[in-house]
Amino acid sequence: MKRLHFVLIASAVAALSACSRAPVVEPPIRSVKLHTVGTGPVVARTEYAGEVRARTESRLGFRVGGKLVQRPAEVGQRVKPGQLLAQLDAQDLALSSQAAQAQVSAAQTQRDLAAADLKRYQDLQAQGFVSGAEIERRQATLQSAEASLRQAKAQGAVQGNQAGYARLLADGAGVVLAVDAEVGQVVAAGTPVVRVARDGARDVVIAVPEDRVAQIQPGLFAQVRLWAGAGKASSAAPLQATVREVAASADAITRTYQVKLSLPDQATVPLGATAYVTLGAASAAAPVIKLPTSALMRSDQGDRSGSAVWVFDAATSTVQPRQVQVAGADGNEMVILAGLQLGEEVVAIGVHVLSPGQKVTRFAAAAQ
């Protein structure tokens, strides 16, 4: 009986121990790196990525239509003035030229006949056999024949020129950038067949958002930095460029404005190279509060959401969240518009592992 009582008492003690509340575990005291809120200058510089292009890019096409039978030009090929780029089937054009020459011969014959007829009637008038009215009619016939001859010669010259238009020749030295037609294709007059970048001046073309295009005017100076893969010019100092042209309307797809900058004439840069353009000189604005990007976190408080930081309270060694207003970025730092006072300390690293009111200790770097 005593043994049974002992078992019951032990079971009750065990049950009461199981129902008791677990001991509260204090959060760990973390070591944090603090940043003292101060001011610093903002360097106002904007860099755009662009592409090096030739000042003049000609989209060459035939002045007459026809079937393409030859295209010696290839992409990347250097061409000289007068070099053959493409050729059409000129058989129909040659026949039209021959027909025009035949019309010139017929008009010449009619003119010679009218001139001989006029001379004969003038001789008869001298003998008193014909009147002056008859001479006037023969003179009018001769003038009409001469006008027809001039018209036929003009038509013959046009047809002769069109026969020569069957050969597409380079009008200047340059590099073939693109080929838009192949052998066997029937092209219309004016259809681009070959695109050639003319040798000479080079431009850098960039796209500027519409909220900044008003700050860019022709004549504005800029610095151009070529990408590392652009050849020997990439290792040299930045090139000085000048804004040459600003588009009057935005692109229909990107809604950006195209800006062309002229490079120095002595600059030797490859076509299509990537270039980074910095417009205007660097200017330092008024001092503002700046924090490392690692000090900010996302904050959701009711209907408001934005950025926040952990503010350190030295009296209690705790941290509390505080919303801040971010104005923008300056390199690897964020510009703070409102929410902090000078001299306050905020957590710079590890902001996502803290909780409100948590105790922390100041991180001390190890002595060297």
* pLDDT value at residue 229: 47
Residue 140 lies in a domain: yes
Residue 1 lies in a domain: no
Task: Please check the confidence at residue 84 and state whether its pLDDT lies above 90.
Answer: yes
Summarize pLDDT for 9-66 with one digit per residue, the tens.
656 555 555 555 556 556 677 788 888 888 877 665 678 899 999 999 999 999 999 9
Which of 301, 299, 291 shows the shortest CA–CA distance to 344? 291
Residue 52 lies in a domain: no
- Name the one residue in this structure whose structure tokens are 């121990």: 17
266, 237: one domain: yes
142, 173: one domain: no
In this prediction, residues 69-96 reach a mean pLDDT of: 91
SS3 66: strand
Counting the structural domains of the chain, the total is: 4
99, 155: one domain: yes
> Do the bridges between strand 274-279 and strand 221-226 make them parallel or antiparallel, or are there none, so unpaired?
antiparallel
In this prediction, residues 237-262 reach a mean pLDDT of: 91
What is the C-alpha separation between 161 and 93, in angstroms, rounded? 9
Residue 3 lies in a domain: no
* E-only strand ranges, 199-264: 202-209, 221-226, 239-246, 256-262
Q: CA end-to-end span of the chain, whole Å?
A: 74
Residue 257 lies in a domain: yes
189, 220: one domain: no
226, 266: one domain: yes
Q: What is the pTM of this model?
A: 0.55
Q: Which of 48-52, 81-85, 189-193, 290-294 bottoms out in mean pLDDT, i.e. has the lowest?
A: 290-294
Q: Count H helices and E strands in the chain, helices first.
A: 3, 26
318 DSSP β-pair partners: 313, 359
Q: Which parts of 127-243 fold into alpha helices (H)?
A: 132-164
Residue where one domain finishes, among candidates 248, 281, 314: 281
Residue 123 lies in a domain: yes
